Structure 1
Amino acid sequence: MTKLTRFLIMESSLAASLFLLTTPLFLFFIFKQRFRSSKNRPPGPPPWPIIGNIHQIGTNPHVSISIFAQEYGPLISLQLGTQLLVVASSPSAALEILKTHDRVLSGRAIPNAFEHSFSPFYLVWSAGCGEHWKSLRTLCRTEMFSPKALEAQLKIRDEKLAQMVSFLQGKKLEVVNVGDVVFTTMFNTISNVFFGKDLLEFEDKHGITAGGLKGKLFKALEDGTRPNISDFYPFVRKLDLQGLRRGNLKILKEIFSFWEDIVEERRARINSSLVAEEEDKCFLDRLLENGFSNDQINICALELFIAGVDTTTSTTEWAMAELLKNKEAFSKVQEELKHKTNSKIVAGLQVSECSYLNACIKETLRLHPPVPFLIPRRAFEACEVMNYTIPRNTQIFINVWAIGRDPEVWEEPLSFRPERFLGSHLDFKGQDFEFIPFGAGRRMCPGLPSGIKSVQSILASLINQFRWVLPNDEDPSKLDMNEKFGVTLQKKKPLQLIFKDLE
């Protein structure tokens, strides 16, 4: 027998074995998907056997799913492997999910990469709305996001703004990555509120920002958005075939090491019965006083950094890009700030009175919502939405990106027109379902008041202090506005500007 013959026999045997192994699985998926299709679930593109609609999602799923919604309706279903996904793409569909059926549809679909020993301590990614979730959310609202807490934080915020402006003044005529500057400013604001000290440096002399903590935070966040076999086929979740869960756990432990000494120092001080003045206490002290473990504290800090820093950074960067492209709007903001503020570094309380600036922020949030699908939800039990059946454990997306660009809701939806919000009752506080960049219902972002104040003050300070130009005198009207999909919606090409003195 020749080598070629033996090789052909081996190949045919292997093919036959694979056929025998995969045929039952193939038939099982066909039967299962046809059985499911007979149910009264929302319409959607026909799924392929085994993979479902995975191949149709692409790198910008908020866009591809929006196109499906135009064909199949405001509530559609997609089959991602064996996982059923239902997506709402209209205000009426969002209202039913976030308000009418909020109780049964308020679970979280936790990415497999995030399912590890720290999972019971999540706030944002908490699978349910149990006692830990309720107590931590209440504590965050009271100690970090209430009007009293925000007023107490005003000194910290103004100090971080001043440091940002001082750093930029030393970069005159140099190309600056706007996102990096805003990220560091916002991160240090939150780290001072939480830990009582800065964790990042603008100059990045020791590689902390670029190669250390910041990079690890982005890596941890990206793990949850990477395509994962374990998410598409839950029956293999425990196997962690791509190693994303193991890798994420390793990254988290490395992140926690950046502040573990601070936690131990504060815990030792509390255990020693040393009483700190109320005004000197940070949020970490409150958690320790309430008996939080190190693991609980670490996850709380991580979620607050990711939720508060990345969203504020992306929103500010998008707002600056839109204003650069729209000179008339930019001039109106400058003129308003000139009359409303007493100094070039603005205070949050003053900025809240700037109606046109706030209209620009709202228009930015409409066109570029920080979280295009909100955080994925999960059905605790089956229910009826818009006369369709949502089965138990279905994953649910709210496509706020599509809602914000719906021509049936918004006039000239692709145009940046802040004037549409002047004198309008529309707000982002979860009551107007055509405009819900921060969600609605019990899972609405609790840090909304803090996030908005941060965007207002950072954006206003940059506009009020500097004259912005693009490198090489590029035409702002041709600025690249392509998106990079992730948990947050970022500019694909980071915004780089040269800051000059005001004329």
Structure 2
Amino acid sequence: MSFLIDSLIFVCVVFMILRFRRKTSFRRLPPGPKPLPVIGNLHLLGDKPHVSTAKLSEKYGPLMTLQLGQVTTVIVSSSDMAKEILQTHDRVCSGRSIPDAMTVHDHSKHGMTWHDVSNKWRNLRKIGNNYIFTTVKLEARQDLRRKKVDELLQEVGNCCREGKSVDIAQAAFRTTLNLLSNTFFSVDLADTSSENAREFKDAVKSIMEVVAKPNLSDHFPILRFLDPQGIRRETGVLCQKLLDIFDGILDERLRSRKESDRRDKNSDVLDTLLDIAEDKNMDLDLAGIRHLFLELFTAGNDTTSSTLEWAMTELLRNPKAMSRARDELRENIGVGNTVEESDTSRLPYLQAIIKETFRLHPPPFLIPRKSGSDVEINGFVIPKDSKILINAWAIGRDPKIWENPESFIPERFLESDIDVRGSSFRLIPFGGGRRICPGLPLASRMLHLMLGSLIHSFEWAVEDDDCLGVEEVFGLTVHKARGLRALPIRGVVG
């Protein structure tokens, strides 16, 4: 029976590949390596697709076609070509290529990230831009975020007194989770005494790992009904754990609102979303709220904590940059004073450190797009329904636009107008165009606050230089192969 099923799968795959090739053979696709039968160019990806495709683009160009199983995939590896996709042809190229794992619990139908451009998607974007990530809303909760960073500093201070090292990734993850949960729910989700917190943390990390796995169902959509590797099933179980936690928070808040029979003007994001759902002025219901939190907590937590770990790693590898950052903080904040979110504008070198970290260690590929129709770019045609992958990692290390691209040099941004808000296509960790990450304002505040506080309040060293390695592990975000354990050797006092 197993042999018959395998044979049936093989025949179906061959049939679909041949059919797909007949449909696209007449079009002038961007150049690329010759595909093998059935698997196409899958064998060329390796365990670090961002690196292998960057090398291939050196031969085939910044707009390159790979046949990944059934799926025609266009790889974008330069800032000029990224601008074509994210700005010039943004309307045509704003569709989503949805991974099979993200269809669990109808997440792709509810979530903002994976929804195709539509009235519902526009409503979700409007809610994010006008009710969640506005300056007024973010500033209203900054005292709570400051409190969470103070708790991080207390934890680091205890390690300093006891001569213990700090697992930077773990501390960053826990703090980021509490920063987000206090902004959205006014509660700690990373309280070490909470069973829910431990389940939440484990589930978030597992989801990011599972979804990043190469999935046959994505390369051969004909196999999706089989879920041959069980990735969709595993993702479904993990996502349900988070949804159950959100359901508990939602139920408790709904009871509280009913009992108080009033709306608090100083409400958090959850209250704001419930107000919108109850007013029925926009297309938002409880299911939409649950899935909105699902994507905000998974993507937002992982990318922010990973970026902080990379920034600390690079500063410890580059003592002059660390010293310059600390001098800037002492001069502008004052020894013994705390760093506030509002101080960022007076800390250009700290801003440059964050930008340089994003350049060297961005999410490897932007969330995959899909062309809504045939589109001509640079003399080539990207066919309708093609998957489009923008290699942000390759753009950040392009020697044609960056001097010494492999080196950590924050100074390159001090006299530069390059930012991460999507207007400069040389630095696009949050994407660009209409699909730019709506959480950018909050992520930026959290990163500058946490990193500035850590390097202003303590001096740092490492017990083992091996943890300063920059070997990467591929995923939705690029993680360090070996986590950073840093030793706070002395607290800075007034």
Whether the TM-score (by the shorter chain) exceeds 0.5 is yes
Once the two structures are superposed, residues 339-369 of structure 1 have per-residue CA deviations (whole angstroms, 9 ceiling, x without a partner) of 1114443101113311111111111111111
> In 2, Cα distance between the equivalents of 1:125 and 1:271?
33
Structure 1 position 283 matched with structure 2 position 266: no
Once the two structures are superposed, residues 13-69 of structure 1 have per-residue CA deviations (whole angstroms, 9 ceiling, x without a partner) of x89x99999679658745754763442011111110000111110111000000010
Alignment counterpart, residue 462 of structure 2, candidates 441, 451, 470: 470
Aligned to 2:315: 323
State the Cα distance separating 1:220 from its structure 2 match.
1.9
> In 2, Cα distance between the equivalents of 1:397 and 1:123?
19
> In 1, Cα distance between the equivalents of 2:16 and 2:246?
50
**Which amino acid is the alignment partner of residue 117 of structure 2?**
C
Say how many residue pairs are matched. 480
Aligned to 1:448: 440
Structure 1 position 70 matched with structure 2 position 62: no
Alignment counterpart, residue 489 of structure 1, candidates 461, 475, 478: 478
> In 2, Cα distance between the equivalents of 1:207 and 1:24?
46
> In 1, Cα distance between the equivalents of 2:379 and 2:286?
46
State the Cα distance separating 1:208 from its structure 2 match.
5.2
Once the two structures are superposed, residues 185-218 of structure 1 have per-residue CA deviations (whole angstroms, 9 ceiling, x without a partner) of 11111111111211112xx355655x52111112
Alpha carbons 2:57, 2:63 under 8 Å: kept: yes
C-alpha distance 26-268 of structure 1, shift in aligned 2 (>3 A): closer
Aligned to 1:293: 285
> Equivalences for 1:80-229 in 2 at 5 Å?
80-116=68-104, 117-126=106-115, 128-172=116-160, 173-201=163-191, 204-205=192-193, 212-229=199-216
C-alpha distance 69-21 of structure 1, shift in aligned 2 (>3 A): closer
> In 2, Cα distance between the equivalents of 1:425 and 1:456?
18
C-alpha distance 187-30 of structure 1, shift in aligned 2 (>3 A): same
Once the two structures are superposed, residues 395-447 of structure 1 have per-residue CA deviations (whole angstroms, 9 ceiling, x without a partner) of 11111110110111111111111111111111111111112121110000111
> What's the RMSD between the two structures over aligned residues?
2.3
> In 2, Cα distance between the equivalents of 1:394 and 1:448?
27
**Secondary structure of 1:486 counterpart:** coil
Aligned to 1:3: none
> In 1, Cα distance between the equivalents of 2:317 and 2:9?
57
Aligned to 1:353: 346
State the Cα distance separating 1:93 from its structure 2 match.
0.5
Alpha carbons 1:105, 1:380 under 8 Å: kept: yes
> In 1, Cα distance between the equivalents of 2:419 and 2:459?
30
Alpha carbons 2:145, 2:183 under 8 Å: kept: no
**Which amino acid is the alignment partner of residue 275 of structure 1?**
R
**Which amino acid is the alignment partner of residue 313 of structure 1?**
S
Q: Which one is further off, 49-58 or 251-260?
A: 251-260
**Which amino acid is the alignment partner of residue 310 of structure 1?**
D
**Secondary structure of 2:73 counterpart:** strand
- For the pair shown, the structure with the greater C-alpha radius of gyration is 1
> In 2, Cα distance between the equivalents of 1:38 and 1:78?
16
Aligned to 2:281: none
Once the two structures are superposed, residues 305-327 of structure 1 have per-residue CA deviations (whole angstroms, 9 ceiling, x without a partner) of 12221111111111111111111
> In 2, Cα distance between the equivalents of 1:321 and 1:64?
24
Aligned to 1:11: none
TM-score calculated relative to the size of structure 2: 0.92
Alpha carbons 2:157, 2:491 under 8 Å: kept: no
Alpha carbons 1:344, 1:461 under 8 Å: kept: no
Aligned to 1:499: 488
Q: Which one is further off, 266-275 or 387-396?
A: 266-275
Q: Which runs of 5+ in 1 are unaligned?
A: 1-13
State the Cα distance separating 1:72 from its structure 2 match.
0.3
> In 2, Cα distance between the equivalents of 1:275 and 1:402?
52
**Secondary structure of 1:384 counterpart:** strand
C-alpha distance 18-334 of structure 1, shift in aligned 2 (>3 A): closer
> In 2, Cα distance between the equivalents of 1:380 and 1:20?
31
State the Cα distance separating 1:226 from its structure 2 match.
1.3
Alpha carbons 1:161, 1:345 under 8 Å: kept: no
Q: Which runs of 5+ in 2 are unaligned?
A: 278-283
Once the two structures are superposed, residues 477-498 of structure 1 have per-residue CA deviations (whole angstroms, 9 ceiling, x without a partner) of x821111111111111111111
> Equivalences for 1:365-376 in 2 at 5 Å?
365-369=358-362, 371-376=363-368
Structure 1 position 270 matched with structure 2 position 257: yes
**Secondary structure of 1:396 counterpart:** strand
> In 1, Cα distance between the equivalents of 2:251 and 2:34?
55
Once the two structures are superposed, residues 147-194 of structure 1 have per-residue CA deviations (whole angstroms, 9 ceiling, x without a partner) of 112211211111111111111111221122101111111111111111
> In 2, Cα distance between the equivalents of 1:180 and 1:234?
36
> In 2, Cα distance between the equivalents of 1:498 and 1:274?
50
Structure 1 position 258 matched with structure 2 position 245: yes
C-alpha distance 18-261 of structure 1, shift in aligned 2 (>3 A): closer
**Which amino acid is the alignment partner of residue 367 of structure 1?**
L
> Equivalences for 1:323-402 in 2 at 5 Å?
323-342=315-334, 343-369=336-362, 371-402=363-394
Aligned to 1:10: none
State the Cα distance separating 1:271 from its structure 2 match.
4.0
